[in-house]
Structure 1
Amino acid sequence: MNIAFLNPLFLFALAAAAVPVLIHRLVQKHGKVKPFSAVRLLLQSRQNLVRPERLKELLLLALRVLAVACLALLIARPVWLFPGVFSSGQEGARVLILDNSMSMAFREDRGERFELAKAHGRGILRNLNGKVIVLPLVPPPGETADGPPPDWMTPERALAELEAIPLSFGRGDPAEALNRAFRAAGGGQARLEIVVLTDLTRGTWEGLDPGRLRRIPPGLTVTFLRFGSDRRDPNLGVKDVRLVRGEAVAGTPARLEATVANLSMGDASARVELFLNGAKVEQKSIDLPAGEEGRVAFDFTLDRAGDVAGEIRLA
């Protein structure tokens, strides 16, 4: 098991561990030598007193250095890396897929899942020899599996590519990302090893259709590194919004209906709010069992003509 740091620049703060040593040397008291009569018992008594005092000072100095070093490491935020991925001494094609869907922005006690995943990815790439491909789970607009295959990169370039991947409001397509990895492997001519950094949210992975996977290479190895708890996170989302009655015309009563889905493993409740032009018009509560959907209706009347910015929020 390897270790990586979410804030590696703070490791330079380890140099501050030398400060207690410098202070110790600067304030250290040096005794003055004065001629004195040769009294054997007095000299022996002085040696017995000085030795325990020096040992105490050295132990205290070591504790101070250790405290400063631990503080620097704590600020650098170390994380453990999972073993057994991307064996650097073996031949084959290697692909790293990073889940950049918005669920990865969830912040835990250890930090944001997206940053944790990137930290693990950096640790994997730094220990890798040979070529590698880095792919986002949510591709850029207009990019499909039928397009040009991704480029093979050195680990150094792959690190830069990993850092450049942003969070996306789009929905991840695992089948498309895997198909792009299969194409890059040359249609099964090389042993392919794939590592997926993801939180395995239901909204992204429930739509994975094995029938969409094409040209699966022999000897394929796929490793999932999951970020998050064993249970699914509370996950409610607005799946659909539509005008079911009337028209969005000034002075005309209308009804808006929002469909809310509970993608969690347990029952959940939420407050559904309707905003028009940035102002909250109405709010309603909804309780949903696990895996169920519900509809919330809002009646409203526009007070003026022109463009209207509408928004449904969950709180």
Structure 2
Amino acid sequence: MTTMRAAVINETGAPDVLVLAEIDMPAKVNAEFLIKVEAAGINPIEAKTRAGRGVIAGIRNFPAVLGSDFSGVVVEAPYEAHPFQPGTEVYGMAPAPRVASGSYAEYIAVQALSVAKKPANLSHVEAAGVPLAAMTAWGAVVDVARAHEGQRILIHAGSGGVGHFAVQFAAYFGAHVIATGSTRNLGWLRDLGATEVIDYTSTRFEQQVSDVDAVIDLIGNVHDDTGTRSLATMRPGGLLVNVPTGSWPTFMTDAAAAGMRSTSYKVSPSASTLEVITRLIEAGDVRVHVDEVFPLSDAAEAHQALERGHTRGKIVLAVTES
């Protein structure tokens, strides 16, 4: 077999530029896996890239395959003695489009350092919703904000893909978690571990929250100046972590003017981080929520659903036909 099905883009634009095509299978080289993809997660950065923003600079040729998250089965291991031999169920995050062709395809070739064994208690569809979102949340909450007992952390968009992991990680490490969300998600956010929840549809969070040590900003200023308003909730010298690409171009200047520290956060594939997250998932301390599942042929519809907003947790593509 030399070809495979993939959802590709031949140009940038609206979701309907995502089309199903038959393309060449990727070739495994050096310390890479060849993996049969069972499911692929959908992430906002891919929608931005499809539209001509995001990481479009990394795409040099069309057709291009988007997608970072995958869960699947090893077809070829990096070498004979590698612990993940053919047949092993794995998941991970590909560094697409810079290094790898993406995961919206039946097969993917990916570096060994991007791959971990799939959590035993998750299906492939559930596992595909984990890597990019969970590792982004881990990086922002644990590595950068250093969540700990007694710390007050405000997390915006707590019910989204990154947000629902961020709430769980911050709570796991003992922080006092304040999460914003819509009315229908308030109870769910409490179940995830939020100490306080704020309905952004009816309440100005900056009038209810104060003395925050860290803000995990998953919105920026693209909606109702959420990022700028967050500065009023923080203690002097607090830390703002802005995550969505291009969501608040002046965040560092604005934070400094308000007497706050600030940084962006960009996730990189890391099997070692994913292995830690896997242990938390298998222990029942962290869970993933998949809101909608689309077949690979409906990748355009999946992007439309993502861009409508209000997704609880993740949207996933079922790549392998049942």
TM-score of the two chains, using structure 1 as the length reference: 0.30
Between 1 and 2, higher relative CO (CA 8 Å, sep ≥ 6) is seen in: 2
TM-score of the two chains, using structure 2 as the length reference: 0.29
Q: Rg bigger for which structure? A: 1
